[in-house]
Amino acid sequence: MFIILFGAPGVGKGTQAKILSDRLGIPHISTGDILREAAANKTELGLKAKAIMNAGELVSDEIMVGIIKDTLSQDRCKNGFILDGFPRTLAQAEVLDKMFTELKINNINVLALSAEDDEIIKRLTNRRACKECNQIFTSQEIEGLTNCPRCNAENSFYLRKDDNEDVIRRRLAIFHSSTKPVLDYFINKRKVFIINGLQHIDEVTEDIVEKLKVS
């Protein structure tokens, strides 16, 4: 099953992608994770991407398209994937459609998670990342914990620069102006399912699964 997960930053895409990846047995392709890994490795691409992300800006289409095409061409993606964080512009959406044709990928399901901006700001300023493994956690996932549940690092949680409120508001402004029109593009070309992202995590997952059953 081929899935594009769409929604504003902080709406819960990453959390749902990881859950669905386990349930459906298909890889979670997160552009954010790929870019952060490159930044942690201090590659030329990673350092450029890190500066862009810390400023709340979008990484260039040229960088993102190259990363996505290489990733979707891998054997692990031949039976399905969950694409999280791409496309973010109409130009990227158009390139992605051509890419799907080249890779002979059909029957794409678009899952659009929705939430109000105020709730998104609250979520992002409350989530934390691990300094050791770079995993990002919601406040629900690490409530009462001092050690990272992924790598067990002690007292490693911190607030990322791109989860600062000023940066978040800038990211949301970019989303509404540049990324939200992508949803209209998909509605005219793909199967699109709108999901209420303000529900409890488990409820969002079940809502998605039910909709995918009839796709």
What was the pLDDT predicted at 215? 56
Mean pLDDT, rounded, of the chain: 88
What was the pLDDT predicted at 49? 78
Cβ burial of 53 (10 Å; 0-12, 13-18, 19+) is: buried
Average pLDDT over residues 127-152: 92
- Give 57's pLDDT tier (boundaries 50, 70, 90): confident
Angle between helices 13-24 and 201-213 (to 10 degrees): 50
Residue 124 has pLDDT above 80, yes or no: yes
Average pLDDT over residues 96-109: 91
What's the CA gap between 120 and 141, in Å, rounded? Answer: 16
Q: Is the peptide bond before 87 cis (omega within 30 degrees of 0)?
A: yes
Question: What domains can you pick out in the chain, each with its CATH number?
Answer: 2-203 (3.40.50.300)
- Give 214's pLDDT tier (boundaries 50, 70, 90): low
Catalytic residues: 13, 88, 127, 160, 171
Residue 70 has pLDDT above 80, yes or no: no
Residues in a beta bridge with 83: 4, 29
What was the pLDDT predicted at 85? 84
What's the CA gap between 155 and 146, in Å, rounded? Answer: 5
Average pLDDT over residues 133-142: 88
